[in-house]
């Protein structure tokens, strides 16, 4: 079976997982809407991440910071001055392209050993003209010079002079953790090392084509910032590389589809940085970033806000600005990786093929589907449904043959189907059918909640 991105996109569109954003208006580039099934899957992914990196993690505290922040935050973080992409326009077809991508694609195709990330704009410019690199859209080689375009979405506050009131949609969630370092430390009385975690939306005005939900202009980040002593930075960096990978493995991702990639180019303040890449149908792409960021973040905020970010160790009396080790993953990228990983087309004994999502039951949208064998059994089925709904998201389906109804649930990854038949009316037992093995067992209605609860723990 060939697992293509097209197949995943089609399944998502047809089964209520992900739709094109503003679709009735022809869509809007790189925006996507999660449907009834998709929103459950994404919420479950966020819950699993939160459980692992907040609930079960030592000394970690969650926050939910505002998307709109004081613009000084983005001066301190360096985003105002340097968060931009090098762009060129094709003079022939007017398409706008990222110069670094143009260079990188050409170099890869012709086996030239260059890293665009390490090149200056002038070097990229020279490379493009020297090799007469062609526009990927129209084949001409006639570009404007490279210009830097800011990646932050700007808006203005209030109704007065807009330049005085310029604010930004946050391009990353991390600054919410940094600016709340003192608040969290004071109110939790946490001792370093401790972590602050957040899940939230971020926005980037990127022109790069998206590969479905892989790269979008609006996305959700799941981030954990560990505040530690400088001398512990390397140790925690290694620890979080392991923790991040283990989380992905526990979600059911094949270890052969994961690899570490150390960054060639480090930000000037970063001590080390790596990505965990996932083998998407379109190739290896970054999924989870781990960064040892030194004391840059808190030092910058101390400088720009005038508030001391010093932490004093009560035992040694040492005072210092803590270092940050960041663990960051996109909820949308992870959802896409999980969907790609779970997707399967299976040949069955009767010659039919079934499409099935082998999702971890904790991630599945619906934990159980209730299916009356015949419509005349719907009253009993609804009774069972009502008792299960208090505990889980449940699906209900009484249309079509039982085989077709199983297939519909397989396609969205529902781990259990409960069938109500005529015996149910006699002895209050039901058949529970497993998605992956397709095995069926008979079970008492009163045992259903326990049975399912045990199977869906992450």
Q: Which residues bind Zn ion (CB under 5 A)?
A: 90, 92-93, 135, 137-138
Rounded to whole angstroms, how far apart are CA atoms 88 and 81?
A: 20
By C-beta, is 137 or 260 nearer to Zn ion?
137
Work out how close the CB of 130 gets to Zn ion at its nearest, in angstroms, rounded to a whole number.
19
DSSP E strand stretches across 348-439: 353-357, 368-372, 394-396, 416-420, 429-434
By C-beta, is 103 or 362 nearer to Zn ion?
103
Rounded to whole angstroms, how far apart are CA atoms 413 and 11?
A: 12
Work out how close the CB of 163 gets to Zn ion at its nearest, in angstroms, rounded to a whole number.
34
By C-beta, is 17 or 97 nearer to Zn ion?
97
By C-beta, is 92 or 271 nearer to Zn ion?
92
Alpha helices (H) in 158-286, listed in sequence order: 174-179, 181-188, 233-250
Strands 18-20 and 32-34 turn out to be antiparallel
Rounded to whole angstroms, how far apart are CA atoms 187 and 202?
A: 26
| Residue 193 preceded by cis peptide, ω within 30 | yes
By C-beta, is 138 or 234 nearer to Zn ion?
138
By C-beta, is 95 or 444 nearer to Zn ion?
95
Work out how close the CB of 96 gets to Zn ion at its nearest, in angstroms, rounded to a whole number.
10
Work out how close the CB of 97 gets to Zn ion at its nearest, in angstroms, rounded to a whole number.
8
Residue 297 tokens read as 């973040």
Work out how close the CB of 205 gets to Zn ion at its nearest, in angstroms, rounded to a whole number.
21
Work out how close the CB of 127 gets to Zn ion at its nearest, in angstroms, rounded to a whole number.
18
Rounded to whole angstroms, how far apart are CA atoms 135 and 98?
A: 11
By C-beta, is 92 or 107 nearer to Zn ion?
92
Q: Are 425 and 377 in contact (CB under 8 A)?
A: yes
| 43 backbone dihedrals φ, ψ, rounded to 5° | -60, -40
Q: Percentage helix, strand, coil, to 5, in the chain?
A: 40, 25, 35
Work out how close the CB of 306 gets to Zn ion at its nearest, in angstroms, rounded to a whole number.
49
């Amino acid at each position: 079976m060939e697992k293509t991105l097209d197949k995943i996109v089609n399944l998502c569109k047809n089964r209520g997982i992900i739709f094109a954003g503003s679709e009735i208006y022809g869509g809007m580039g790189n925006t996507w809407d999660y449907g009834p099934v998709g929103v459950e899957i994404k919420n479950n992914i966020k819950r699993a991440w939160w459980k692992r990196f907040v609930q079960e993690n030592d000394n970690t505290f969650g926050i939910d910071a505002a998307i709109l922040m004081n613009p000084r935050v983005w001066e301190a973080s360096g985003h105002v001055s340097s968060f931009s992409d090098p762009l060129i326009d094709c003079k022939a077809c007017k398409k706008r392209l990222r110069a670094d991508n143009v260079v990188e694609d050409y170099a890869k195709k012709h086996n030239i050993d260059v890293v665009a990330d390490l090149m200056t704009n002038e070097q990229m410019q020279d490379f493009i003209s020297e090799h007469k690199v062609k526009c990927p859209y129209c084949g001409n080689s006639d570009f404007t010079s490279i210009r830097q375009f800011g990646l932050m979405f700007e808006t203005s506050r209030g109704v007065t002079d807009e330049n005085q009131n310029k604010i930004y949609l946050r391009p990353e969630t991390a600054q919410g953790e940094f600016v709340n370092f003192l608040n969290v430390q004071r109110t939790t009385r946490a001792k370093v090392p401790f972590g602050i975690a957040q899940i939230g939306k971020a926005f980037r005005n990127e022109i790069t084509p998206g590969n479905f939900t892989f790269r979008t202009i609006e996305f959700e980040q799941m981030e954990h910032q560990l505040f530690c002593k400088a001398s512990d930075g390397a140790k925690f960096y290694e620890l979080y590389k392991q923790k991040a990978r283990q989380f992905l493995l526990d979600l059911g991702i094949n270890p052969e589809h994961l690899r570490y990639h150390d960054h060639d180019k480090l930000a000037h303040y970063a001590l080390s940085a790596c990505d965990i890449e996932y083998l998407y149908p379109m190739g290896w792409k970054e999924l989870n970033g781990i960064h040892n960021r030194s004391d840059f973040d808190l030092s910058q905020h101390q400088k720009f806000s005038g508030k001391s970010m010093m932490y004093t160790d009560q035992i040694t009396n040492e005072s210092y600005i803590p270092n940050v080790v960041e663990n960051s993953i996109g909820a949308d990228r992870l959802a896409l990786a999980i969907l790609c990983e779970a997707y399967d087309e299976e040949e069955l004994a009767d010659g039919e093929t079934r499409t099935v999502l082998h999702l971890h039951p904790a991630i599945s949208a619906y934990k159980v589907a209730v299916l009356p064998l015949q419509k005349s059994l719907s009253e009993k089925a609804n009774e069972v449904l009502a008792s299960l709904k208090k505990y889980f998201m449940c699906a209900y389906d009484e249309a079509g043959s039982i085989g077709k109804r199983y297939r519909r649930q397989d396609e969205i990854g529902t781990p259990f189907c409960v069938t109500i038949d005529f015996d149910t009316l006699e002895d209050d037992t039901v058949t529970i059918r497993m998605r992956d093995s397709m095995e069926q067992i008979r079970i008492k209605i009163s045992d259903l909640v326990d049975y399912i609860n045990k199977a869906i723990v992450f």
